[in-house]
Structure 1
């Protein structure tokens, strides 16, 4: 019952769960109507909804798993489960988009007759469902971009520190941001399906259906590429893109500490979407105070955004 308690206890989780139920129910409606009317546009939109449902379900479970404490087997905890699930979902979405484009080109060359008797009603219904999703998640999207948080989670306004850097960082909930972008892409896709249905019904333009499918596929890929890049960079332990300049400045500050001879084997990476881990090796002069240097170096990198830092110090002769 742990995941259920987690969903019921958090406002964001309740929103995701509610929209997951609505989205899943209407996905089956779109699949049934798409097969009956032979509309590729509607089927492609239903496929997008299918992967959105999978992403929502995995996101709910991942948010629960990520809260479990570290143990002897998972020393860092399981926060990367969210990153891995996001990467897998992104890869599948890109593949689905590519397959829909290929099928669309075939239908452009050989248009098929499409039944529009119930297609318009289903298309409009899908648009309404996606608008509900936008209403659900717009507040979280606005909140993520409109406030900053300090390290202890309190909301702050950005202030300039001693080194000219912001003392607090803009906190972005990548999970809610990704969900909002998916729903936004779905909404644009639903608009495309409605337009193509109207063109087929009143103008007889059968080519509008595969063109709509290409449009939806572009929306799928465009919405998922940032997630694919960010999750891949985290899994490959790249230096966090948003902190590169701060880390360069922090390294320069550490090198200026009295007694520091050199900084070696610097490793900085994202453990999860929000947690940054770092290690490096300090060479200091024989008479230098190790504790003072360690404290100063730790403070500099914590101000730069590193939450978990390991410093190895070695005294060397000049």
Structure 2
């Protein structure tokens, strides 16, 4: 009976970031990476190159990461209006980015272990075959990076937000390109100058850089998943916008992220002159990051409390 009249009072809970272009291009990168992975594993087995085998299985972790990215996009889209999720699926992409960052850390750890083992027990390398396949891998990574970087910027401009899911996929491509580049440098040094120890050393250098990338992505995504609050200056500005109107005093305020780019807020205030909640929401109209606002208004009688 009242559904039609209440529609304008209902909140939208669809905070998921729409990036169909990014999802499509991630699929292209997944296919390229999977083909290269199979080629490196087969070539490593045929030519007896542990370096190629290691890089092939290393690329398998990136294939898994791209699958996570694509799954996160589809899951967020499919369940965007599912009432089982209180504030929608805006954090699914952030969770995908977090999971991929953990995968990056695992890759770095495995690289360090493998590199240390090779320093202790050097392996015989068929340089020509290894260099050839590594160059092909690097070219594939450049193409993949171009696809994801172009869309990474396109997504930011289009949605005015941060796509941690796509950023994680881009980080994996960069990590793979870095390891391929370092491997080529090490292989060339080993072939022409006999510096075989550079191969495992480059692996350690690459692992350190990848660890830093992983840490940066974890640092971005963790506060969102843990309902981290807004910046203190932003919170105080919100509070000030309400309190400078009439004799309002904010008694309680909670602000947290419901996606990478949207905040929800619950604000309780007391005042001698209560107004409709829409009045207080209008005071916050300039804070565009606030996508879901709940306001509680309490009348403060003189004999009950002092403002």
Shift of 1:221: 1.6
Shift of 1:223: 2.2
Q: Which residue of 2 aligns with 1:311?
A: 295
Residues 1:95 and 2:106 aligned together: yes
Shift of 1:315: 1.2
- Counterpart selection for 1:235 from 225, 228, 247: 225
Q: Higher relative contact order by CA 8 Å / sep ≥ 6: 1 or 2?
A: 2
Q: Is the contact between residue 277 and residue 297 of structure 2 (CA under 8 Å) also seen in structure 1?
A: no
Q: Which residue of 2 aligns with 1:12?
A: 22
More off after superposition, 119-128 vs 179-188: 179-188
Shift of 1:293: 4.1
**What CA distance in whole angstroms lies between the structure 1 residues aligned with 2:192 and 2:142?**
25
- Counterpart selection for 1:56 from 55, 60, 66: 66
Q: Which residue of 2 aligns with 1:166?
A: none
Deviations 1:81-114 (A, max 9, x none): 3222322232232133123213322322332322
1:149-298 equivalence runs, <5 A: 170-240=160-230, 243-260=231-248, 262-285=249-272, 287-291=273-277, 293-298=279-284
Q: Is the contact between residue 39 and residue 209 of structure 1 (CA under 8 Å) also seen in structure 2?
A: no
1:20-99 equivalence runs, <5 A: 20-34=30-44, 36-40=47-51, 42-67=52-77, 68-99=79-110
**What CA distance in whole angstroms lies between the structure 2 residues aligned with 1:266 and 1:34?**
59
- Stretches of structure 1 that go unaligned for 5 or more consecutive residues are 1-8, 154-169
Coordinate RMSD, CA, aligned: 2.5
Shift of 1:233: 0.9
Q: 1:291 to 1:80 in 2, by over 3 A?
A: closer
Q: Is the contact between residue 44 and residue 216 of structure 1 (CA under 8 Å) also seen in structure 2?
A: no
Shift of 1:244: 4.3
**What CA distance in whole angstroms lies between the structure 2 residues aligned with 1:212 and 1:32?**
23
More off after superposition, 83-92 vs 54-63: 83-92
Q: State how many pairs are aligned.
A: 282
- Stretches of structure 2 that go unaligned for 5 or more consecutive residues are 1-18
Q: 1:265 to 1:291 in 2, by over 3 A?
A: closer
Q: Is the contact between residue 93 and residue 164 of structure 2 (CA under 8 Å) also seen in structure 1?
A: no
4+ residue segments displaced more than 4 Å: none
Q: Which SS does the other structure have where 2:246 is aligned?
A: coil
**What CA distance in whole angstroms lies between the structure 1 residues aligned with 2:43 and 2:209?**
22
Q: Which SS does the other structure have where 2:293 is aligned?
A: strand
Deviations 1:159-196 (A, max 9, x none): xxxxxxxxxxx533333333223322322221111111
Q: Is the contact between residue 30 and residue 122 of structure 1 (CA under 8 Å) also seen in structure 2?
A: yes
Q: Which residue of 2 aligns with 1:165?
A: none
Normalising by structure 2, what TM-score? 0.82
Q: 1:60 to 1:19 in 2, by over 3 A?
A: same
Q: Is the contact between residue 189 and residue 215 of structure 1 (CA under 8 Å) also seen in structure 2?
A: no
Normalising by structure 1, what TM-score? 0.79
